[in-house]
Structure 1
Amino acid sequence: MQTGSESVGNQTPATPPVTGTPSQTRLAATAPGQMRVIKRNGTVVSFEDSKISVAITKAFLAVEGGTAAASSRIHETVAKLTEQVVGTFKRRMPSGGTIHIEDIQDQVELALMRAGEHLIARDYVIYRESRRQARVEKEALSPESEAAAGAINVVGADGNSKPLDIERIRTIVAEACMDLSDVSEAAIIDEALKNLYNGVTEHELSTSLVITARTMIEQEPNYSSAAARLLLDNLRAEGLSFLNVADSATQGDMETYYPQALKSFISRGIELELLAPNLAEYDLDMLGEALLPERDLQFSYLGLQTLYDRYFIHSDETRFELPQLFFMRVAMGLATREEDKNARAIEFYQLLSSFDYMSSTPTLFNSGTLRPQLSSCYLTTVPDDLHGIYGAIQDNAMLSKFAGGLGNDWTPVRALGAYIKGTNGKSQGVVPFLKVVNDTAVAVNQGGKRKGAVCAYLETWHMDIEEFLELRKNTGDDRRRTHDMNTANWVPDLFMKRVFEDGDWTLFSPNDVPDLHDLYGSAFEERYAQYEEQTRNGELKLYKTMKAQALWRKMLGMIFETGHPWITFKDPCNIRSPQQHCGVVHSSNLCTEITLNTSKDEIAVCNLGSVNLPQHIENGELNIDKLRKTVTTAIRMLDNVIDINYYSVETSENSNMKHRPIGLGLMGFQDALYKTDISYASEQAVEFADKSMEAISYFAISASTDLAAERGAYSSYEGSLWSQGIFPIDSLNMLVEQRGSEYISVNQDSSMDWDALRGKVAQQGMRNSNVMAIAPTATIANITGVSQSIEPTYQNLYVKSNLSGEFTVVNPYLVRDLKERGLWDKVMVNDLKYFDGSVQAVDRIPADLKAKYSTAFEIEPRWLVDSASRRQKWIDQAQSLNLYINNASGKKLDVTYRMAWFSGLKTTYYLRSLAATGTEKSTVNTGQLNAVSQQAAEAAPVQPAPVPKACSLDDPDCEACQ
């Protein structure tokens, strides 16, 4: 029986553990009137009445059950008992103080006895004793480990040898396992000691603990948190030593050390010319006191290792930036121009360090540094002249140098065979220049932190489109191949209509039809038909006519074979653009979520960040108030990026200052579904996608108009759709009207008070021309430990590869549900390995869990498209939508991409396809796995299967995964 006595001890940490050193015992100090609790492992946490109430309620429910008759009595009794227990301590310590968890539980026990609840008190006592015995067993080292520890000497950084400090190891591991269920301190220490030897270095000792916890992740996901906390010990030793704060520290020391470390970090960073000098102008004492050391404990191992490898400030490969210093540095960089920059820095820090919201990678890399290039995406249009072409390639290099992803519109460049007046010759077309772009992206690799990343866009009517489709092929003339860059089709609605109608399609050279590039909707259709007529009467000589379906099949064939070009749709991007009064959207960006105007005079820039959606799910519901607060602060942070940003190209600065676009997105959509107990492949998931995006959209627009009231509207606001009272939900009508209702099916329902918000915008204007875009969030989702963007779960157990190494990833929600049903064991782990992370073939797993934990390739693509369509109606830009198709065929691809266009989507991203065949699992007896009984699960020895690798999705060289 579990009565909940542990719940009394699971108070929310207010400070890290106290383990007895002078600096740690000071943590027990309390503010006047404040009571705090010392837990068994020395952790000091805030005293919360509600925890006592929950614990007593659990005790009653365990004995009396949750019937309606018992419910009323339990509620009243628990309230009285809680009041008695809390009142006891308030009388004892009217000025505040610290209480041991055992004292609280003693008082609960006494209160139950005094109230005559003897049966419940008896069970409460029995449960406390059983938990005590379990703790003793959990913490006890094996005799072999005790003996081994006494025989090991450790070599320090100074070269001196000293006996292994087993008590410090116990402290570090106890901190790492604090509040984590089903992890064993003794198991980590026992296994780590087996790999140690006399003369081991301090670094090797710490690494052994980390690696030991890592190996246990596949058996229990909570070991990922334990491994991260053990890694923190290495980080603290490295960082604090460099900053001359301490040689080493436990997590409990950090409440003392973090404020000191912040001052030293800013000073050393400025001295080494790694940080901006204006960071020294902050009140560092105030900011140091605002640091929250306990938030170090939130990381998964993958998240913390990623930060360490790629984000933390370093000097000669020594990382001297610790996690909370990192978040504060980013926050300070974003608040430098705020009127009360100290208060705003703390506000921004609290949001980032809570994981409720995360800025994009360039912002995390560069905020607070000497060159704060904080923007994520740059979109350019390449003009049709040699000077302009190589100028655009130079712009690519400069933008890529400081960690920007690029989208290039190549449609204006004349096609192969087109006449060149200046030389009286013929053009070689677009492809040779794209080879140069490809090699430039490889050469200029985003400051050495990420591979250079660029995507070239070409409209479907361009004469070079057929060769463009083949750029990523592994066969053919390698001089006309681009193996390292991305490509995307920019598809007009008219082409899709011709596909549906099985009509003809004509290809042109843009120098013969220059206005098509800037036309869309009905205007494009009319002008295109006129040019087709000119081919028939002989006015246009250079053209090619083919069946639209033939070109469509080739597009689908290439995206299946090579993954490129992606398929994006020109007309919805333009017809629904708020900025159509002052330009044209000629392409999207590297990841197909940005839809901004470009021209020869304007390089579009977008600044990204993402709401962590599962952090806003409480008790199975979306917490609207918390979401409003998060979005409001996030929009302010994104708007600040525009003014602080370092612009390596002048035309990008002019564009960004004029229009001030930002892109607030989301991540962890799949986690949010798990927390609300919804299957991805369901109408409920589609509805949740709709309602959650509506709320984000509403609050984002509201925050931007409030900023306009404070700071002024963006300069090109007048004439925009915003100024006409036309919001993203309203622009859907414009798309239906332009395209024709027979070619589109979209939901236009809403649930919030949009009229009131329209009135507010009419009065105040908008601070930002665009406010929403859903990016892939691959790396920042790793940092925060949630699923990427709007992606379904790839596999429930796999090895993830990226530039930081290989990491075992287990779906913690699945493990939790299997534990609740008594189904999580070693055989289940082996089953998941054998079936590549799928639960569908494991007979023991109930049908409802199979539906809930269906993986990406087990979900019909229509569910991805339906959810994306519901989101798209609220978004003024686009979303990075990967499509997963199992047993892909031409017919499946045809249906899926037609459905994407028909559902009003603006863009699609990667096609993820899975072959019909799989690798043979030679290490496992398949007869044991496919229908294993519970008895067999407990008794039968099973050979371990290899953990499946997510190679195709998480290629370390794939810039979209970084």
Structure 2
Amino acid sequence: MDTTATPERPSVSVTAPRTLRIIKRTGDVVPFDGSKIAVAMSKAFIAVEGDNAATSSRVRDFVQAAAHSIEQAFLRRLPDGGTLHIEDIQDQVELALMRAGEQKVARAYVLYREEHARARAFAGDAIEKPHPTLNVTAPDGSTRPLDLGRIETLVFDACADLANVEPTRIVEDSLKNLYDGVSVEGVSQALMMTARSLVEKDPSYTYVTARLLQDNLRREALSFLGIADEATYRDMADFYKPAFRTYIARGIEFEQLDPRLAEFDLERLGEALDHSRDAQFTYLGLQTLYDRYFIHRDEVRYELPQAMFMRVAMGLALDEDDREARAIEFYELLSSFDYMASTPTLFNAGTLHSQLSSCYLTTVPDELDGIYSAIRDNALLSKWAGGLGNDWTPVRALGSWIKGTNGKSQGVVPFLKVVNDTAVAVNQGGKRKGAVCAYLETWHLDIEEFLELRKNTGDDRRRTHDMNTANWVPDLFMKRVFEDGEWTLLSPASCPDLHDLYGAAFETRYLQYESMTRTGELKLFKRVRAKDLWRRMLSMLFETGHPWITFKDPCNLRSPQQHAGVVHSSNLCTEITLNTSADEVAVCNLGSVNLAQHVTEGRFDAEKLKKTVRTAVRMLDNVIDINYYAVPQAERSNFKHRPVGLGIMGFQDALYGLDIAYASDAAVEFADRSMEQLSYHAIEASSDLAAERGRYASYDGSLWSQGLLPIDSIDRLKTERGDQYLEVDTSTTQDWGRLRDKIGAQGMRNSNVMAIAPTATISNICGVSQSIEPTYQNLFVKSNLSGEFTVVNAYMVNDLKARGLWDEVMINDLKYYDGSVAAIDRVPEDLKVKYATAFEVEPKWLVEAAARRQKWIDQAQSLNLYIQGVSGKKLDVTYRMAWFRGLKTTYYLRALGATAVEKSTVERGSLNAVSNAAPSAAPPAEPAPRPEEPRGIDDFLQGKSGGGSRAPSAGDIDELGCEACQ
């Protein structure tokens, strides 16, 4: 063995000079005793080499010489005497063993230290490394020295397995912000603030910040549950299981969790919890969970992340035969971020109020009792965290005769003001704002006033500043726009059957009513030029962000449930297309596959997708049976049709993983093929569930029962609309014939299986891009109900690092150019294309990709459209193209004109704020002042800016109504 010991060296002294003193972990100060170094090193040798090491002269000589060397090193460091911490001495022992080539002994010594550190942490009564001057104030008012050892443990654990992070820097910078008497919470905040301020330097710091936040979560939950006062990340390998059992018991005791959860084998489920998955959260994701999802009592969160995922999994497995096995299967899917359930499911699964569904669609009847019953239903559904879509087309128009009073109707608008205020008054379980969208068909006589509901000018009694609105547009209107024809506005009181008609039947009947206006049989009507109304629709969409444009006929002609009713509207986020009537409130249960998790080493993993989808569809189907229904019409509809909506998120991340630019034919092809595979596996999973559990009640007569799948329904739309008005790619790659045969034999468990929701919140939880959205900006500050979060495109950073381009100059350039690389000269052209931001992607690529997905989806998709340098022509072309490509719906218009950008840097003291004042979406909380010159259609068509609304910045891009669903 090669050592530094020689016979000539003196033996270690029994006691060193009195001037050298040691701070113990308890905070006590004692004289230095060099013999203890030799004893500790001897024990390490014995642990490796056995008892023979105790009498080995080789070992004795080595430890004596090494101990003496360590002592002398300290005396040289502190010639006049001073104070050392016990950890400093142990660090030197490890170093001496490693330098001497005694790696096995050094490892034994490290394990010995960790074992004793864990024991001390478990006991909770020892300070590892007290700060010489700073004290911490505990919640009970007592003080103790700041534990530097624990801080270092937390920070180094938080940085483990992450590249390009500096734990020492975090510790040192955090200590600069502490003061004597700081609270325990203040210490945690200092660590997190230091880490989050570095996120713009490297995206890995978002994971560091999240892991530091978990120290707060653990302290809060574990102390409340009586498990421990605090714990490190490593401690959770032992603590999660007992904490989980206690959490279930306390939740049931507090009447917050379903007592049936106690009937599970909690030992088995506790063993399945994987504490390491706590490390995969971003700061935004974990803070969002903490603020809005974790179960709490008296504002104390006693639910930990993995416990939450298992609680949701258990709640969805309550009726399964092998509940534990299914719960573990569901937990694996959720906790790995391969799939995420919608927000209502995460909120309420496993609780006493298991309202798990995301969306509710209603039709409002044309009579006073029915109108106010519908508003009451809105309140009840909103209370339990559901997003609402209301069909208002049946309600008679302004000026229509009222038989009972012989008076004239005030039309739809005054009732919508009540709906708006109800949504404000009844939020979603105290967790999120209430959210509702009103739909009106384009032929309704009140449509022109409906278009102006979101304006900030005019009579405020006829404005709805907090509610979403959407046009429900028949194909005939779009044909009239293309043909520059006339369009007749009618009152549903005069033509009530139009509400339930679509396609050729609607066109035939509408022409009859138009004829009746010319013969005098219909008195209440208005004739307008179709193009003028279309321009006004686009003008209001640009100015106020509303009403959205959705298409009635493709929603109905491609619906699998045409035999069972009519699709009268979509939902809050325009992805759900289900039948509604006076007797049925449509319900949809949502969840999303994380496409980013299905790209591995530059390859799309189709087999993993199949496995994920099969489990996800089972989870969604279970929601229907477990769900709490606030109104009987919803329960009746859901059990009769059993619709679910499996969607996707992380589409942009998947493209990055495949090295594909969003604005490319390859991206359109990936949208097509990935959605085809998801559609294939989702439909097959539902069919297999039908074989296991039975077909849904209204299956007979559906398109499924006729052997017609979503791809086949395109022909029905083409036949009814006309070949000249539809252009859709219909290529396929899967064995759809085999699947048709299987459905013919087994049927379907669910009337509808797919819908792509916005995933505004659950994508944050998983740390991926929303839904099918392109990257909004590569560097910006996201603002939501949980605060402000610096977001940096990690894929871009890694590519720039690989080319030696990531530095302070690049960071400042990104801030200056609002997160865009397009104007940064030294960024290579291929990276500019790959990392083009949403407004740099031509809207045609968004529409083309959406059209390829739509052919596989039995419902719809929340499609935001981004248009830079907006003009009337661009809007006209984009929305005509959306209809021409067979899309069922569109969602928000993000229209970017002139921008006002506030530049900032960390050095100037603000949190990397990058704002953009232009994209059109939602009006401000306070009405904007009336513009000096009202903006007309001509100005709009020339692309001139005018009065109207402020749209959200990059920071609040996802804080719109879409969050209510997911």
Per the shorter chain, which TM-score range? 0.7 to 0.9
Superposed CA offset, 1:818-871 (max 9, x none)? 000000001100000000000001001000000000000001000000000000
C-alpha separation between the residues in 2 aligned to 1:384 and 1:885? Answer: 38
Matched, 1:949 2:931: no
User: Which amino acid in structure 1 is aligned with residue 914 of structure 2?
Assistant: P
Correspondence list, 1:810-821, <5 A = 810-821=792-803
User: Could you tell me whether the CA contact under 8 Å between 1:604 and 1:652 is conserved in 2?
Assistant: yes
- Aligned with residue 522 of structure 1, among 504, 519, 542: 504
Aligned to 2:750: 768
Tell me: CA distance 1:812–1:920, structure 2 relative to 1, closer, same or farther (3 Å): closer
**1:462 Cα deviation from its structure 2 partner:** 0.2
Tell me: CA distance 1:917–1:248, structure 2 relative to 1, closer, same or farther (3 Å): closer
**1:342 Cα deviation from its structure 2 partner:** 0.8
- The size of the alignment, in residue pairs, is 810
- Aligned with residue 568 of structure 1, among 529, 543, 550: 550
Aligned to 2:430: 448
Correspondence list, 1:523-602, <5 A = 523-602=505-584
Correspondence list, 1:408-807, <5 A = 408-807=390-789
Q: Secondary structure at the match of 1:567?
A: strand
User: Which amino acid in structure 2 is aligned with residue 405 of structure 1?
Assistant: G
Deviates more, 1:845-854 or 1:197-206: 197-206
**1:958 Cα deviation from its structure 2 partner:** 2.3
Q: Secondary structure at the match of 1:473?
A: coil
Superposed CA offset, 1:380-416 (max 9, x none)? 0000000000000000000000000000000000000
Matched, 1:212 2:194: yes
Q: Secondary structure at the match of 1:447?
A: coil
Q: Secondary structure at the match of 1:728?
A: coil
**1:148 Cα deviation from its structure 2 partner:** 10
C-alpha separation between the residues in 1 aligned to 2:563 and 2:741? Answer: 21
C-alpha separation between the residues in 1 aligned to 2:899 and 2:156? Answer: 46
User: Which amino acid in structure 1 is aligned with residue 226 of structure 2?
Assistant: N
User: Which amino acid in structure 2 is aligned with residue 952 of structure 1?
Assistant: S
**1:957 Cα deviation from its structure 2 partner:** 5.5
User: Could you tell me whether the CA contact under 8 Å between 2:340 and 2:593 is conserved in 1?
Assistant: yes
Tell me: CA distance 1:260–1:922, structure 2 relative to 1, closer, same or farther (3 Å): closer
**1:150 Cα deviation from its structure 2 partner:** 2.3
C-alpha separation between the residues in 2 aligned to 1:184 and 1:923? Answer: 21
User: Which amino acid in structure 1 is aligned with residue 392 of structure 2?
Assistant: W
- Aligned with residue 825 of structure 1, among 794, 799, 807: 807
Q: Secondary structure at the match of 1:428?
A: coil
User: Could you tell me whether the CA contact under 8 Å between 1:588 and 1:595 is conserved in 2?
Assistant: yes
Superposed CA offset, 1:931-958 (max 9, x none)? xxxxxxxxxx999995313643525862
**1:202 Cα deviation from its structure 2 partner:** 1.3
User: Which amino acid in structure 2 is aligned with residue 848 of structure 1?
Assistant: D
Aligned to 2:16: none
C-alpha separation between the residues in 2 aligned to 1:266 and 1:148? Answer: 36
User: Which amino acid in structure 2 is aligned with residue 683 of structure 1?
Assistant: D
Q: Secondary structure at the match of 2:429?
A: helix
Aligned to 2:12: none
C-alpha separation between the residues in 1 aligned to 2:670 and 2:741? Answer: 27
- Aligned with residue 138 of structure 2, among 156, 166, 177: 156
User: Could you tell me whether the CA contact under 8 Å between 1:459 and 1:492 is conserved in 2?
Assistant: yes
- Aligned with residue 373 of structure 1, among 338, 355, 360: 355
C-alpha separation between the residues in 1 aligned to 2:493 and 2:583? Answer: 19
User: Could you tell me whether the CA contact under 8 Å between 1:803 and 1:956 is conserved in 2?
Assistant: no
User: Which amino acid in structure 2 is aligned with residue 263 of structure 1?
Assistant: R
Q: Secondary structure at the match of 1:150?
A: strand
C-alpha separation between the residues in 1 aligned to 2:856 and 2:814? Answer: 38
User: Could you tell me whether the CA contact under 8 Å between 1:797 and 1:947 is conserved in 2?
Assistant: no
Q: Secondary structure at the match of 1:152?
A: strand
Correspondence list, 1:169-318, <5 A = 169-318=151-300
User: Could you tell me whether the CA contact under 8 Å between 1:833 and 1:945 is conserved in 2?
Assistant: no
User: Could you tell me whether the CA contact under 8 Å between 1:499 and 1:548 is conserved in 2?
Assistant: yes
**1:157 Cα deviation from its structure 2 partner:** 2.5
Output the aligned Cα RMSD.
Answer: 2.2
C-alpha separation between the residues in 2 aligned to 1:573 and 1:917? Answer: 36
User: Which amino acid in structure 1 is aligned with residue 436 of structure 2?
Assistant: V
Matched, 1:166 2:148: yes
C-alpha separation between the residues in 2 aligned to 1:650 and 1:299? Answer: 39
Tell me: CA distance 1:922–1:721, structure 2 relative to 1, closer, same or farther (3 Å): closer
Tell me: CA distance 1:957–1:747, structure 2 relative to 1, closer, same or farther (3 Å): closer
Q: Secondary structure at the match of 2:757?
A: coil
User: Could you tell me whether the CA contact under 8 Å between 1:955 and 1:961 is conserved in 2?
Assistant: no
| TM-score of the two chains, using structure 1 as the length reference | 0.82
C-alpha separation between the residues in 2 aligned to 1:435 and 1:917? Answer: 32
User: Could you tell me whether the CA contact under 8 Å between 1:709 and 1:765 is conserved in 2?
Assistant: yes
Structure of larger gyration radius: 2
Q: Secondary structure at the match of 1:738?
A: helix
**1:239 Cα deviation from its structure 2 partner:** 0.3
| TM-score of the two chains, using structure 2 as the length reference | 0.82
User: Could you tell me whether the CA contact under 8 Å between 1:450 and 1:959 is conserved in 2?
Assistant: no
User: Which amino acid in structure 1 is aligned with residue 577 of structure 2?
Assistant: T
C-alpha separation between the residues in 2 aligned to 1:946 and 1:731? Answer: 49
User: Which amino acid in structure 2 is aligned with residue 763 of structure 1?
Assistant: A
Structure 2 segments unaligned to the other structure (5+ residues): 1-24, 26-93, 104-127, 917-951
User: Could you tell me whether the CA contact under 8 Å between 1:442 and 1:452 is conserved in 2?
Assistant: yes
Correspondence list, 1:381-396, <5 A = 381-396=363-378
User: Which amino acid in structure 2 is aligned with residue 602 of structure 1?
Assistant: E
Correspondence list, 1:830-869, <5 A = 830-869=812-851
**1:147 Cα deviation from its structure 2 partner:** 12
C-alpha separation between the residues in 2 aligned to 1:283 and 1:646? Answer: 25
User: Could you tell me whether the CA contact under 8 Å between 1:563 and 1:910 is conserved in 2?
Assistant: yes
C-alpha separation between the residues in 2 aligned to 1:206 and 1:438? Answer: 41
**1:153 Cα deviation from its structure 2 partner:** 1.2
User: Could you tell me whether the CA contact under 8 Å between 2:130 and 2:149 is conserved in 1?
Assistant: no
User: Which amino acid in structure 1 is aligned with residue 961 of structure 2?
Assistant: E
Superposed CA offset, 1:624-667 (max 9, x none)? 11000000000000000000000010000000000000000000
Identity over aligned pairs, percent:
70
Matched, 1:405 2:407: no
Q: Secondary structure at the match of 1:639?
A: helix
Tell me: CA distance 1:680–1:481, structure 2 relative to 1, closer, same or farther (3 Å): same
User: Which amino acid in structure 2 is aligned with residue 880 of structure 1?
Assistant: S
Q: Secondary structure at the match of 1:174?
A: helix
C-alpha separation between the residues in 1 aligned to 2:434 and 2:472? Answer: 22
**1:917 Cα deviation from its structure 2 partner:** 3.9
Deviates more, 1:589-598 or 1:155-164: 155-164
C-alpha separation between the residues in 2 aligned to 1:944 and 1:239? Answer: 32
Aligned to 2:878: 896
User: Could you tell me whether the CA contact under 8 Å between 1:800 and 1:949 is conserved in 2?
Assistant: no
User: Could you tell me whether the CA contact under 8 Å between 2:569 and 2:577 is conserved in 1?
Assistant: yes
**1:158 Cα deviation from its structure 2 partner:** 3.0
C-alpha separation between the residues in 1 aligned to 2:551 and 2:602? Answer: 36
Tell me: CA distance 1:439–1:920, structure 2 relative to 1, closer, same or farther (3 Å): closer
Structure 1 segments unaligned to the other structure (5+ residues): 1-20, 22-99, 110-145, 925-940
C-alpha separation between the residues in 1 aligned to 2:308 and 2:136? Answer: 31
